[in-house]
Amino acid sequence: MSVQVSNKKQFLVMLLLFLVLIIVVEITARTYDFLNPGCGFIGNDVFDHTNWYTTYWICVDPYLIDWDYSEIRQYIPNQNHNTININSHGFRGFEFSEQKFDDTYRIFVVGGSTVFGYGSTSDKTSIPGYLQNEFDKLDLNKKVEVINAGIGFATSFEEEYLIKKKLMQYDPDLIVIFDGGNDVYTKNKEIILDHGNPVKNPFQIGTYDFYLTPIVIYKNIVKPFNSQLKIDDVLDDTNSYDYVTNNWESNIKKICKLGKNNNFKVAIFLQPLLISTEKTLSFDEKEMKYKELESNKGQINKELLSKFSHSIQSFTDECHISADLTNIFDKKSEAIFYDWIHVSDNGNGIIAENIYQKIIPLVLEDISK
């Protein structure tokens, strides 16, 4: 009898120790996850004047967004986070009516995460947000809507598909495309990078993770290893410069042709990258640019962007507006880039101002008709 009692006690002690170990590991995992959100830019000099709390949520919010991969890769509607709001149509920013009224001039801004506003402190400090603010200052006989149709990681192929399959149903007057970086980076390869965090926690009730350790392990060990394998596979295959450039050029021209055939105008802008800028670099920008350019892939990307820059001049006949913005930061001295492609709120404002100056004559002409 005493032996049985002793065994039971041992079992209970071992069970208790096991539960304590799980709790300790979980507390450690949650603490690590909170202090190391995994975006890589916390502490970057771009955010020197942004409080830690805001910077933390700028980092975390993109990973909290739910995606819809059914037909078009897009965001699931009606999501609200600390710095990002997804409306009922699956776009970042304000609500709007699907039906466009006669007193409305509708602009969609299309692109990747730079358009969406990764790193923006709010919806209003994204490129489309700043553009909207510029139009709101004007006293026009039509309301100008600037809708953020940016999708993280989107290439020109996805942009064309998005416009054809979704945006046309909203009767756009003007589609502004701000891209180039993702086409340069992926070399037009038909790959699926690990967008966001598609892995669901099995220890989840509703939206609450009551046991987070498996996800922390996945995010910090499994995912970086797998993603690096996929990215390296893409970057090591340089393809032909002409092949990559021609693919991007072809996709953009398809969009412009789509506009001509469906009564909306298209403006295309080639985005700046850290490797293209000749600006006075901050400490972190200098370090990032050096690391990028010392690698073979960085040199390839710089050469490709240069070819894109020459190629954009050929869009004049097909597109209403085409402009190379790769050097718009050259006379700036403040920190703007926090990685190879994404920029600060101030950078978004500079981009928006340049786009606004290019498209405002076209918009005013259309509204006056």
| Predicted local distance difference test score (pLDDT) of residue 31 | 77
For residue 197, the one-letter residue type is N
Is the confidence at residue 2, as pLDDT, over 80? no
Contact 249, 298 (CB under 8 A): no
Query: Over the chain, what is the mean pLDDT?
Result: 86
Classify residue 196 by its DSSP letter.
Answer: S
Separation CA 299–CA 76 (nearest Å): 37
Residue 231, token pair as written in the block: 């990215």
Place of tokens 């004049």: 316
> In this predicted structure, which of 138-142, 285-289, 313-317, 321-325 has the lowest mean pLDDT?
313-317
| Predicted local distance difference test score (pLDDT) of residue 209 | 62
| Predicted local distance difference test score (pLDDT) of residue 215 | 65
Q: What is the CA radius of gyration of the chain?
A: 24
Share above pLDDT 90 across residues of the chain, in percent, rounded to a whole number = 59
Is the confidence at residue 38, as pLDDT, over 80? no
Is the confidence at residue 132, as pLDDT, over 60? yes
Place of tokens 């995992």: 29
pLDDT band, residue 300 (cuts 50/70/90): confident
List pLDDT tens digits, range 203-228. 555 555 656 677 666 666 655 555 54
* Of residues 232 and 245, more confidently modeled: 245
pLDDT band, residue 319 (cuts 50/70/90): very high
What would the mean pLDDT of 292-310 be, rounded to a whole number? 88
Residue 124, token pair as written in the block: 């209003």
Q: What is the largest CA-CA distance in the chain?
A: 97
Structurally, what CATH architecture does the domain formed by 36-189+237-368 represent? 3-Layer(aba) Sandwich (3.40)
Domain locations in the chain as residue ranges:
36-189+237-368
Share above pLDDT 70 across residues of the chain, in percent, rounded to a whole number = 83
Separation CA 107–CA 128 (nearest Å): 9
List pLDDT tens digits, range 237-266. 455 788 889 899 999 999 999 999 999 999
Which residue blocks in 36-146 are alpha helix, DSSP H? 52-64, 113-116, 127-136
Q: Helix or strand or coil: residue 67? A: strand
Taken in order 344, 350, 355, 361, the sign of the CA dihedral is positive
Measured at the CA of 33, the angle between CA 30 and CA 38, to 5 degrees, comes to: 170
> What DSSP string describes 103-134?
TEEEEEEEESHHHHTTT-SSGGGSHHHHHHHH
> In this predicted structure, which of 36-40, 312-316, 345-349 has the lowest mean pLDDT?
36-40
Residue from 77, 32, 79 nearest 219 by CA: 32
Contact 286, 304 (CB under 8 A): no
What would the mean pLDDT of 165-192 be, rounded to a whole number? 85
Burial 90-125, CB ≥16 within 10 A → b, else e: bbbbeebeeeeeeeebbbbbbbbbbbbbbbbbbbbb
